A and B are shown apart, each in its own frame.
Chain A
């Protein structure tokens, strides 16, 4: 199956700093990428949908100025958590799809963010 890679897998940052998480589709061009957030033992909550070359569409309740999403190319999307606070600590997962992948959406391995 298609491979989606996330980096970093784990990151610890200080309160008030910003951290960037990358999501790459390694063997296909991802026309659409999705960012999810997951708290321990809970479901995945959709944060935003990004299409290459256009602004991301954020779900209700997600602060777009805090969670900056960029999808500058067909193989890379980035999530930047700005001015991070401890409550932003979470597991962030990206996923990607394209028209050729049918209706299957492929997921990255996720990124653990801990804000201290």
Chain B
């Protein structure tokens, strides 16, 4: 069975500083990995995904994530945080099989201060 761990409930950074939101995963076979962002009382917005290819994946709003197979990690990063990045971030994994659902981590609240 697949699972995702987001070890931090909250990450606090100052505007302009780099940010990292951590994610580790467990899945049989090659993983499909995703990051989503959720603003209050809203659905999920897709940020980026790793399926295959380059380990560094670039996504929406300047976010990127690095797939590290040996550490089974897929940390989300951004070189310079914005106050508007403050939201709830979810890492998710799905198995390499058509029709399978995403399994989500518990979420990490990112708070960017001005």
Contacts and interface: CB of A to CB of B under 8 A. Distances in A.
Contacts of B53: none
Interface in A23-45: 31-32, 34, 41-44
Given A103-B49, A103-B51, A34 B106 contact: no
Contacts of B109: 41
B103 interface: yes
12 contacts: A32-B99, A34-B101, A41-B107, A43-B106, A49-B100, A49-B101, A93-B43, A95-B44, A104-B34, A105-B34, A105-B102, A110-B41
Interface residues of A, number: 27
Contact of B104 (A44, A97, A103, A108): A44
A110 B102 contact: no
Interface string A47-87: 00101000000000000000000000000000000000000
A103 B101 CA distance: 10
B46 A1 contact: yes
Contact of A107 (B44, B94, B107): B44
Contact of A31 (B41, B46, B99, B102): B99
Given A42-B107, A43-B90, A99-B98, A104 B46 contact: yes
A106 B102 CA distance: 11
